[in-house]
Homo-oligomer: A and B are copies of this chain.
Amino acid sequence: MQVNMNTTFSRETDLIDSLIAGRQPGRALPREFYSDENVYRADLDRLWRRGWLFAGHSCEIPKAGDYFTLEVDADSLIVIRGEDGVIRGFHNVCRHRGSLVCTAAAGHVNRLICPYHQWAYGLDGRLVACRGMQDDLDKSQLGLKPIAAREVAGMIYTSLAENPSPFEPAQELLSAFAKPQGFRRAKIAKAVDYLVKANWKLVWENNRECFHCNLNHPQYIKANFDHYNADDTTPRIKTEISAAINRSETKWAAAGLAATHKQSGMTVFPDAENNIWFSANRTPLVEGYVSETMNGKQGAPLMGDYIDADVGTLRMRTLPNFWNHSSCDHAVSTRLLPAGPQLTAIRVWWLVDEKAVEGRDYELDKLLPFWQLTSEQDWQICERQQRGVNSSAYVPGPYSIYKEYNVDGFVRWYLKTLDSARH
């Protein structure tokens, strides 16, 4: 096997090297990055199995033994809360004959018991029972394979890497921003799953610019300032933003919140040069909007530490698979998972305060449409782009320096990540 694997491997490495070298600065990526099976495998190997992946929310598994599963391509993972309250992650693969251990999307267990031959694992992954096996089996070597897991302000991250990169810098930033939103005291009002026929990078590139918002997101642009950039922020818009900032700043400071993005346009992210894969900021909404709902009005009880609806909008994003938009009354999390070279599994969650009761304190048909429409508009865009990019006539075009600086940043971050993980 040695020879073959090495040959295959080295050819794949050569291919990726040459593709990376072939990208022209300031332009979109060549077609292979969005469609080729070899690039997809490199993405899995060098990026998805190395980085920190958003998995879900800690409020989804409040009690010891609560778990959920997720799938990173063919890798099924369990995220579970232990008897000590700590959240852990494991590969969802029995060490006996390889069956999935947890077959449900979520649930509660006392032990993790494989349905095939009932090998039983503790909530900490240790093999605790395997009736019918010979006595000299070394159980200590047969625990569920662990994956790194971290919880930050109610958000759960995992990494499939043996030696993941330090999580602390992200932890520090995200906990500061997320704390007042109260994710740990939240509940899931709704979750919707999508299977989008586009490479995961097209979904991110779409996320990293609001150049497309004007005509594609009629709801979103009513509430936000993102789609105004250096080239088209008129004096009137500047005045509106300043006014919004002025209205909020003193009040926010008193509440321990800060407006960290005070301009039009999107905050700069990612920072490829410094390998910054996480970011958060708080910014005002357009006057008349206190929540990202269709009419801008509050649609659920205040979340977390908020004592006033006027908190603007909190935004967080972490590469390669998470973003969140939070209003005073609800929060919307989006998680991407790769499911094929041209297929991305996306889940969108709506969170509200844990004590809020549907029908009494909020109604889904008021809370969901803003981000459900905006999300689905984006998935449709990405699928149309994938089809065009697949054409033999596709050539990478130029980015707008005013509006697509973050797309370029994402592409540079991606290429650098891929290149630096070269074996």
Contacts and interface: CB of A to CB of B under 8 A. Distances in A.
A293 B97 CA distance: 30
A384 B102 CA distance: 10
A388 B98 contact: yes
Contacts of A15: 1, 4
Given A4-B14, A116-B385, A400-B132, A205 B97 contact: yes
B401 A134 contact: yes
Contact of A96 (B18, B393, B398): B398
A266 interface: no
Contact of A98 (B75, B396, B401): B396
Nearest to A137: B398
Interface size grouping (class) on chain A: 35 or more
A290 interface: no
Interface stretch (A86-94, A150-158, A294-302, A366-374): A86-94
A394 B98 contact: yes
B98 A28 contact: yes
A33 to B, nearest CB: 11
A134 B397 CA distance: 13
B132 A232 contact: yes
The residue among A103, A117, A134, A400 with the most chain B CB atoms within 10 A of its own CB is A117
Given A1-B22, A117-B212, A391-B92, A397 B229 contact: no
Contacts of A18: 1-4
A173 B147 CA distance: 52
User: Chain A at the B interface: mostly helix, strand, loop or mixed?
Assistant: loop
A395 B95 contact: yes
A170 interface: no
A229 B393 CA distance: 46
A211 interface: yes
Given A75-B393, A391-B76, A391-B93, A115 B4 contact: no
A142 interface: yes
A70 interface: no
A109 to B, nearest CB: 15
Interface in A122-170: 131-134, 137, 142, 145, 160
Contacts of A391: 74-76, 91-93, 98
Nearest to A206: B116
A62 to B, nearest CB: 27
A201 to B, nearest CB: 12
B402 A134 contact: yes
Interface of A: 1-4, 11, 14-15, 18-19, 21-22, 28, 49, 74-76, 91-101, 103, 115-118, 131-134, 137, 142, 145, 160, 205, 211-212, 214-216, 229, 231-232, 381, 384-385, 387-398, 400-403
24 contacts: A1-B21, A2-B18, A4-B18, A75-B393, A76-B387, A93-B389, A93-B391, A93-B393, A93-B394, A98-B385, A98-B388, A98-B389, A98-B391, A98-B394, A99-B384, A99-B388, A100-B387, A115-B381, A116-B216, A116-B381, A132-B400, A134-B400, A142-B398, A160-B392
Given A4-B14, A160-B392, 17 more contacts: A1-B21, A4-B15, A28-B97, A75-B393, A76-B388, A93-B391, A96-B397, A116-B216, A116-B384, A117-B211, A118-B215, A132-B229, A132-B232, A132-B400, A132-B402, A133-B400, A134-B401
* 4 nearest A-B residue pairs (beta carbon): A1-B18, A91-B393, A74-B390, A98-B389
